[in-house]
Structure 1
Amino acid sequence: MNKEHFLDEDKTKLDLNGNLDTIIKVAIEQTAVSIVITDVYGNIQYVNPAFENTTGYTFEEVKGKNPRILKSGLTPDEVFEELWETITSERPWEGELINKRKDESIYYEEARISPIIDTDGKITNFLGIKQDITTRKYLEEKLKQTSIRDPLTNIYNRGYVFERLYQNIELYKRERSNFSLAILDLDHFKKINDTYGHQVGDFVLKEFAEMLACKIRAYDTMGRYGGEEFVILFHNSDRVTALKTLERIAENLNDYSFKYGKEDINITFSCGIADAMELADDELSVGSIIELADKRLYEAKEMGRNNIVID
């Protein structure tokens, strides 16, 4: 390479260095991530256009204010405590925040907040670089729900119920918080499929699942066990209390018909219930309590169906 090439290269470097402030400013203004600069007390001194687009606030509206104006109340206080402790200790903090836009809508963001330290070793500012991840969180939640939901009834699948059952067992062994497990089986369901067809059978399963969901407490866990069988995990409840709930559901079914076109379809169910206190700690497991409830379900069927067995 000739001398002129190196001279041109050096000139380019000099021009770049000379324009570096301008280049950085343009990059900050054009980037898709939000950038926030505050003083040492947390008062906003600068936000870029991406921040304005994400939050709905203009710079003039937030200038001199604390970023807590975005606080939604959904991010645990412990997160903010950790954030402040970290950055005031001259270390960067990374994490997720759930914030609120000017229009009151909620959004999720990944944030990295770093202290800016001068030549004397003092913190002069804080720099926040934040990316809106609301769409990603929505897709992740949708994927999660797909993996834990029964595709026909849209209630939880057995895998998720087993996971919750395991958690309840661990909690019971630590805190003696009793729970009950009920397994339900729709009586003579095969006859419905044979008489009306599988499409009607599927309709009945969906309607029954919806009815069950309305009759149990919001914090109980219900899922499809398989075929025409359902399982309910009654939290903080013994089997006698669970029995009362299921007896009310059975009574409602006696006076209710599932309507499909011109057809009125009546159903009943058999059920077996077990609770954690019936088993010793070294015997209590997901498999053992399911086995006990399933054994009682079999007994309920043997009694002529439309029965609930708890002993």
Structure 2
Amino acid sequence: MALSESQVEAEVEHVVDGREALEYLRRQGGRFLLARRPDLILLDLNMPRMDGREFLAELRGDQALCSIPVVVLSTSAVDRDVLAARRLGAAGYVVKTADVGVFIEEIRRLGEYWSRVAFLAHNGKRTEWRADRRGGRWWGDEEMSESTQQISILVIEDDAGDFGLIQANIRRAGLRRLGGGEPLRWASTLVDGVRTATAAKPDVVLLDLSLPDSTGIATVQMMRSVVPDVPIIVLTGADDHQLAAAALEAGAQDYLVKGQFEHDALGRAIRHAVVRQKLESRLRLFEAALNSAANGIVITDVHATVVWANPAFTRMTGISLAEAVGNKPSEMLNTGQQDAEFYHRMWETILDGRVWSGEVVNRRKDGSLYDEALTISPVTDINGRIQHFVAIKQDISERKATEERVQHLAHHDQLTDLPNRALLSDRLSQALAQVRRDRATLALMFLDLDQFKPVNDTLGHDVGDLLLKEVALRLKACVPRETDTVARLGGDEFVILLAQIERAMDAVLVAGKVLAALKRPFLIGPHALDISVSIGIAVYPQHGEDVGQLLKNADTAMYYAKKAGRNCYRFFRAVTEAAGA
């Protein structure tokens, strides 16, 4: 009668005791197969044959029926009876009063509330039930289409009625796998929730902010510290925007008010929380990978202003993230060694949406320079518009230094560090090309030490090597111009390239300096060594026009200087004339 008077729209079935109710619910034929199963059971505790307490215990032990919410109707307002009903799994408790009007109003509010629950549970449509024996339970069309993905949900809620409501919403939200076990675990206190979450980490935590042992934001903070990577959805009876904001700031992912769920709000919140958590986990993984990368990584906006940089960038440049953000790399690192054309080509490439790679010389915070391999990649939005640039930076100073050392060793004499035959040939080729263009002249001087072999034979190769080093230093002092070259071909043979002279007599002046420099005694340890040098000179273009010819003719001229008594120089032309005479 109360339901009728309350004008709640509902289909009502009436049974007289608990046993008849169970028979009705478990019936394998008749109305239950063709109609929807009950969305709510209103239960009197005092009934014949099987009372309400026995019925609740039996119902909660039946896997097929345990999710149907039950609201107890009783004349007892004793706390002990209310708690007993909640422990047995009742979703609510209404006290029958002598005032019929008050009782009808309670039933009306109850009916409206559970009508919303039923609407949410059925996703706004009527569930058609059909028989299908699977593990002794009945399966509905909505359950047949549930996701095969099962998640674990920990509900920390001290109110058994609210837990029943949560259970019904989750069950109807499609968060349970066919044939799978119940995804929910229930804890009525924060301590129990912490213990449960620690024993087996859930995928989602539904958390009440008013628990017997914890209230307010501290509850969220505690759970966040226990399961920092598990999404927390706060469920509370308080519609408080400030509390909601504080909960989200404390680490909750969502905030829902009990009894005010919109259509599938809880199921949607859980799904979103799981998806968001997976995305955040991936972002944390990506961030950890970027922070662990050995190469410097810098992200800028489309105007080349830094928005993020990893620790490797700081190690490479000495510039912290705080110092880098808001500034442009060109302002912090530029050395001026790359010209405007270089940067024009780089910007032209990346603004065209293409990847640019190259090498630059940059400046650290302390002013020191370093070589950097740089790759810049544009990052576009779904419409293809460039939003950011990602720069990968590698300090290649050591590699460049190694390459330079290798190149130096390949082109220099290991003992004296003078250019070797290969480098001499290269420089002579370049000098010949230059004097041809300028219609100028150059000279090549071939030197061979006099009396060097007796030093090696009597004092040993160690003393001979030290002598050769001293000879190299004196020769370089005689030829101070950077355009000229002093080279060692091997043994006691040296070559001097005078890259550009005005007349042949310029070579005579240098030859005189060399003869005088090498005539002075060499002090090698306890030894005072006296040697001299014979010099042959070939001049371009009179004595040859290519590398091979000039070297050969200078060598020939040196041979005649030896024959002339050593410690002198001879030009190639004078040699040929003397040979003709």
Q: 2:490: which partner in 1?
A: 226
Shift of 1:77: 4.8
Aligned to 2:382, the other structure's residue is in SS state coil
Give % identity.
Answer: 37
Aligned to 1:190, the other structure's residue is in SS state helix
Shift of 1:117: 2.6
Shift of 1:148: 1.7
The answer for unaligned runs of 5 or more in structure 1 is 1-5
Per-residue CA shift, 1:261-306, capped at 9, x if unaligned?
3321122211122233226xxx622211111211211122222111
Q: Counterpart amino acid of 2:534?
A: S
Alignment CA distance shift 1:207-1:284 (3 Å): same
Alignment CA distance shift 1:278-1:84 (3 Å): farther
Q: Counterpart amino acid of 2:281?
A: N
Q: Counterpart amino acid of 2:342?
A: V
Q: Say whether 1:122 aligns with 2:363.
A: no
Query: Is the CA contact (8 Å cut-off) linking 2:435 and 2:500 kept in structure 1?
Result: no
Q: 2:505: which partner in 1?
A: 240
1:125 & 1:242 partners in 2: Cα distance?
62
Q: TM-score, normalised by structure 1?
A: 0.86
Per-residue CA shift, 1:42-78, capped at 9, x if unaligned?
2222211110010001122222222122122334554
Match of 1:33 among 291, 295, 306: 295
Match of 1:271 among 514, 532, 535: 535
Q: Say whether 1:289 aligns with 2:554.
A: no
Q: 1:262: which partner in 2?
A: 526
Structure of higher CA gyration radius? 2
Query: Is the CA contact (8 Å cut-off) linking 2:449 and 2:533 kept in structure 1?
Result: yes
Residue correspondences, number? 299
Shift of 1:232: 1.8
Q: 1:136: which partner in 2?
A: 399
Alignment CA distance shift 1:303-1:77 (3 Å): farther
Q: Which moved more, 1:181-190 or 1:76-85?
A: 76-85
1:40 & 1:142 partners in 2: Cα distance?
40
The answer for unaligned runs of 5 or more in structure 2 is 1-147, 151-202, 204-274, 574-581
Alignment CA distance shift 1:94-1:175 (3 Å): farther
Q: Which moved more, 1:57-66 or 1:222-231?
A: 57-66
1:141 & 1:47 partners in 2: Cα distance?
30
1:235 & 1:62 partners in 2: Cα distance?
49
Shift of 1:141: 1.4
1:177 & 1:28 partners in 2: Cα distance?
59
1:85 & 1:304 partners in 2: Cα distance?
68
Q: Which moved more, 1:112-121 or 1:75-84?
A: 75-84
Aligned to 1:126, the other structure's residue is in SS state strand
Q: Counterpart amino acid of 2:385?
A: K
Q: Counterpart amino acid of 2:515?
A: A
User: What do you get for the CA RMSD once the two structures are aligned?
Assistant: 2.5
Q: 1:3: which partner in 2?
A: none
Query: Is the CA contact (8 Å cut-off) linking 2:474 and 2:517 kept in structure 1?
Result: no
Alignment CA distance shift 1:181-1:38 (3 Å): same
Query: Is the CA contact (8 Å cut-off) linking 2:308 and 2:325 kept in structure 1?
Result: yes
2:552 & 2:350 partners in 1: Cα distance?
53
The structure, 1 or 2, with the larger RCO (C-alpha pairs under 8 Å, 6+ apart) is 1
